[in-house]
Amino acid sequence: MILYILYSIVVLYLIVQIWQLQALFRYEVYNDFQTLQNEDPSVFPQISIWVACRNEEKNIEHCLLSLLDLNYPKDKIQILIGNDQSTDNTRQKILDVIEQYSKQSQYSESKTLLQLIDILDDDSGLKAKARVMAQLDKHAIGEYYLITDADVVVSPNWALGLLGSLSNEMGVASGTTMVKSDGIWGWLQEIDWAYFMGLLNLISFSGIPATAVGNNMIMKKEAYWETGGYGKIQFSITEDYKLYSEICKKGWKWNNVMSPQVLAFTHKIEGFLPLLHQRKRWLSGGKELPWYWWILFGIYGLFYFITPLLLVYNFKIGLAFWMLKFILQMIQINQIYRFLGQQSPPTYKHLLYELYMFLVTVSTSIFFLLPAKTIWKERKY
């Protein structure tokens, strides 16, 4: 009886994989980027870009320079940088970029282009990035709010791509973020981000609200303030999902986009333990997700516990299950890379990624159940 249950879970996992694959080949995304690109820039709407940063002295300059390089009129951009009580040289790095850019002639076109906001302790009950957003929104003057992080570099068409992802009835949209880094540890995380970001897009494409990526998202001003803003939303360690879900609850449609125009790049997590803390933070915030998400998480996680047992019981059957899963997964990842305009990983990277998936999934499952607090940006939650 137990054996039949184990087989059933693995078969269910493969069915989900097949569903994902067929959805991937049917995938179409709403993105009016080309129309916007051909419009007169003088009619572009005002946008406010929110950047949360804490102890990002190594990354903040690259992030801000990529935002200043956007294909968008400078007089229509407001970049709000929330310095969340950094203890390193982050604040000075921000001031250096502001000073450097202020010396350029085009800065006179927009005195509000770059604004540093020092985040203060308050009695709102909010923490971390949610508190940063709740203090930045008071300064936002745009018709659309775009959010990214200090360790992210965006493409020149990022703003236009996100704007093109919102139809009239859509209140929130999310782009795709990948890790871009050299070395084995870096490209393993690159494949991991691409794979799971692709799955989020497929779930959204299937008509089920998924979540936004907090370092690559856009929302209409009207949709944001209908929720009351971050100051009125109950705190969650995954503030991006919380805001996304609250906007959807107000009746707004959503969009998760997989295209080169909305592709952004973040840095790898250094070290295995910090990676586990990142995953535990995601899962902790995901406790508010609907029940069917947790069934999906369970199916994914159990595969890596059950299949090794099947290999011991019947090696040929266990290996057949694992090989089928690997092939389906590889096809999906390659297709996701093509949607994003990136070169597909060679087969040996897929093989190493499968080992990575096994190690990270099993370790994360165990770590999530441990009573240890989540550490993120040198704070405990």
Domain locations in the chain? 2-26+286-370, 33-275
Report the candidate in 81, 83, 126, 118 with the shortest Cα–Cα distance to residue 101: 81
Distance in angstroms (rounded) separating the CA atoms of residues 140 and 136: 7
Rounded (10°) CA dihedral 214, 219, 225, 230? 0
Residues 45-77 pLDDT 10s: 999 999 999 999 999 999 999 999 999 999 899
Cβ–Cβ under 8 Å, residues 208 and 142: no
pLDDT (mean) for 277-304 = 82
Report the candidate in 190, 378, 359 with the shortest Cα–Cα distance to residue 274: 378
pLDDT (mean) for 28-53 = 84
Q: In what order do the strands lie in the sheet with 176-179?
A: 152-154, 263-266, 176-179
Cβ–Cβ under 8 Å, residues 354 and 47: no
Lowest model confidence (mean pLDDT) among 81-85, 231-235, 345-349? 231-235
For the purposes of burial, counting CB atoms within 10 Å of the CB of 270, is it exposed (0-12), middle (13-18) or buried (19 or more)? exposed
| Domain range 33-275, CATH architecture | Alpha-Beta Complex (3.90)
In this prediction, residue 35 has a pLDDT band, given cuts at 50, 70 and 90, of confident
Quickly count: other Cβ atoms within 10 Å of residue 127's Cβ: 15
Distance in angstroms (rounded) separating the CA atoms of residues 81 and 75: 17
Cβ–Cβ under 8 Å, residues 178 and 266: yes
Rounded (10°) CA dihedral 355, 359, 361, 365? 160
Report if pTM > 0.85.
yes
State the pLDDT at residue 321: 93
Residue 320 has pLDDT above 80, yes or no: yes
Rounded (10°) CA dihedral 294, 300, 301, 305? 140
Local structure of residue 29 (DSSP, 8 states): -
Mean pLDDT, the chain, rounded, equals 88
pLDDT (mean) for 275-303 = 82
In this prediction, residue 28 has a pLDDT band, given cuts at 50, 70 and 90, of confident
* Residue ranges of E strands in 233-354: 253-256, 263-266
State the pLDDT at residue 15: 93
In the chain the first and final C-alpha atoms are separated, in Å, by: 41
In this prediction, residue 108 has a pLDDT band, given cuts at 50, 70 and 90, of low
Q: What are phi and psi of 256, to 5 degrees?
A: -115, 125
